[in-house]
């Protein structure tokens, strides 16, 4: 699921057009059978990612680091899209960036 309602709506429409059984809850979270997970990821989620960025990567981090990465990208004007996968939040950004080389200060709780 994409946090951006416009992108998430596009994902839902793709799933509907391809007649994949699913349900959408009031928060916009898409529920589907685990047997359809690979198809949804490779056929539909990747299409949305490709439309957002010509060349992209997914950045994952521990929950305590989400705000630190989000703020770094905001300050450095790095465009990103947030995704929710299960209980995890991911960042989609252009492939040209090297997040693991960024000089980030650890969250206070992890120092």
pLDDT digits (tens, 9 = 90+) for 69-85: 999 999 999 999 999 98
106 shares its domain with 86: yes
Q: Are 94 and 56 in contact (CB under 8 A)?
A: yes
Please tell me whether residues 10 and 21 are part of one structural domain.
yes
- Same domain for 71 and 109, yes or no, is yes
- Tell me how many domains the chain contains: 2
pTM for this model (two decimals) = 0.86
Domain with 105, as residue range(s), is 54-111
Cα 18 to Cα 93: distance, rounded to the nearest angstrom: 27
Strand partners, 95: none
C-alpha closest to that of 97 among 52, 64, 62, 58:
58
> Which residues contact residue 27 at a Cβ distance below 8 angstroms, ignoring those fewer than 6 apart?
none
45 and 58 together in one domain = no
At 85 the pLDDT is 86
CA-to-CA distance for 87 and 25, rounded, in angstroms? 15
First to last CA, the chain: 32
Q: How far apart are CA 58 and CA 50, in angstroms?
A: 12
pLDDT tens per residue, range 37-68: 999 999 999 999 999 999 999 999 999 999 99
């Amino acid at each position: 699921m994409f946090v951006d309602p416009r992108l998430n709506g596009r994902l839902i429409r793709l799933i509907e057009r391809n007649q994949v059984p699913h349900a959408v809850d009031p928060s916009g979270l898409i529920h589907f059978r685990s047997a359809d997970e690979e198809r949804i990821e490779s056929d539909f989620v990747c299409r949305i990612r490709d439309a957002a960025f010509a060349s992209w990567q997914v950045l994952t981090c521990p929950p305590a680091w989400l705000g630190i990465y989000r703020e770094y990208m905001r300050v450095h004007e790095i465009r990103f899209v947030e995704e929710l996968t299960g209980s995890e939040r991911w960042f989609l950004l252009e492939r040209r960036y090297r997040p693991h080389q960024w000089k980030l200060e650890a969250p206070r709780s992890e120092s």
